[in-house]
Structure 1
């Protein structure tokens, strides 16, 4: 039985190492707030605050698994494996690449594109961030499922494993909860990306309209679009707040 328990500890450790990919991906999606632009950056502030709490919980669960593995090895006098940065670095990436898309002809003008990026952000980068959040959610769900499978396969053969089952059960549920929150972050980021893209189009149209002599009809049309956009923005933000609060 000791060999089986040591093997079980190794399986848990292999899952724990996968948190490294989660940490790297999580750092990327909040690494640069400028992608939301000056006009929309405030929208993401609540998400960033809750993301910090998410990171704390990820580290907490990872540390729990580390302690459980160390306890199982110690029980049978087996030396825990040394940290393996090469193995961690070789984990599949969860970071989605940014699609390179060309904007309208007017955005190809360097200074104008830079101004649009600063004011209205980068919808293409935000879309990649949303995909990264989905990847994180899927990976966390898979990690929880793998740990549950290890418990079902290994632990029934043990005697006195009730405490281990209890501790691991709490961690598995916590990882599933982190997966659900990550999926919510993905949906929210996706929605914010749509808002940023709409803002970018609106600003671009405003610039084009003012570059020539604007007519009353043009100004009226822009005013109506801004009003409609404002209503939609308010409704979307209310939905995002409700989604974050569960």
Structure 2
């Protein structure tokens, strides 16, 4: 029976280590608000507020898993293994790499590119953040499935087993819920990325229009584009608010 408990504790600990990696990845994608640019940064404020609350729950679940592993070892006087830095270092990164798209010729001009980056943000980086959120969501759902399988495949027979299963069940459901929230963050970040890209195109067109002698037709066309963008922005913001509700 002791061997079963040690094996079960090791399985839970392996999930906890992966859960910590998820925690680190989510911190990376919300660590730099400048990627949204000055014109669109306000859109992400609600997401950041929601993430702060999710982060608290992530920390709570991670601590729960740590205490459960420690409790299983202490229950039978089994010495807890020291943290394995090799296993932790071997965990694959969940942060998606940035795939830079080809930029227009005018954006290759250093000063102009810097102004566009500052004003309108970095769509390629935001797209990578969205992919990271989707990866995090998939990893969380996988961990919930694994923990559930551990409980079904290794039915504990020691004293207090029913309470252990009950507590672990709460953690499984919490991780599933976090996975759903992470998927929503991915969808929202993707939508914001589209807005940032549209803003970037609009600003670029405005710069081009003002760099040459603007005609009434050019200004009218640009005004129409801005009006259409305003309608799309309103519709997208409504959708984002619904997803965060």
Q: Where on the TM-score scale, by shorter chain, does this alignment land: which range?
A: over 0.9
Instruction: Name the structure 2 match of 1:16.
Output: 16
Task: Calculate the TM-score normalised by the size of structure 2.
Answer: 0.97
1:67-146 to 2 correspondence within 5 Å? 67-146=67-146
Q: Match of 1:228?
A: 228
Count of aligned pairs between the two proteins: 245
Q: Which runs of 5+ in 1 are unaligned?
A: none
Give the structure 2 partner of residue 38 of structure 1: 38
Segments of 5+ residues of structure 2 without an aligned counterpart are none
Could you tell me how far apart the structure 2 residues matched to 1:224 and 1:19 are? 48
- 1:20·1:88 contact (CA, 8 Å) conserved in 2? no
Q: What is the aligned-residue RMSD (CA, Å)? A: 1.1
Is the counterpart of residue 150 in structure 1 residue 188 in structure 2? no
8 Å CA contact 2:20, 2:62 repeated in 1:
no
Contact 2:129 2:189 in 1 (8 A): yes
> Normalising by structure 1, what TM-score?
0.97
SS in 1 for 2:154: helix
Native 8 Å contact 1:73 1:79 kept in 2: yes
CA contact (8 A) 1:99 1:124 kept: yes
Pair 82,162 (structure 1): closer, same or farther in 2 beyond 3 Å = same
Alpha-carbon distance between aligned partners in 2 of 1:89 and 1:114, rounded to the nearest angstrom = 35
CA displacement at 1:102 relative to structure 2: 2.5
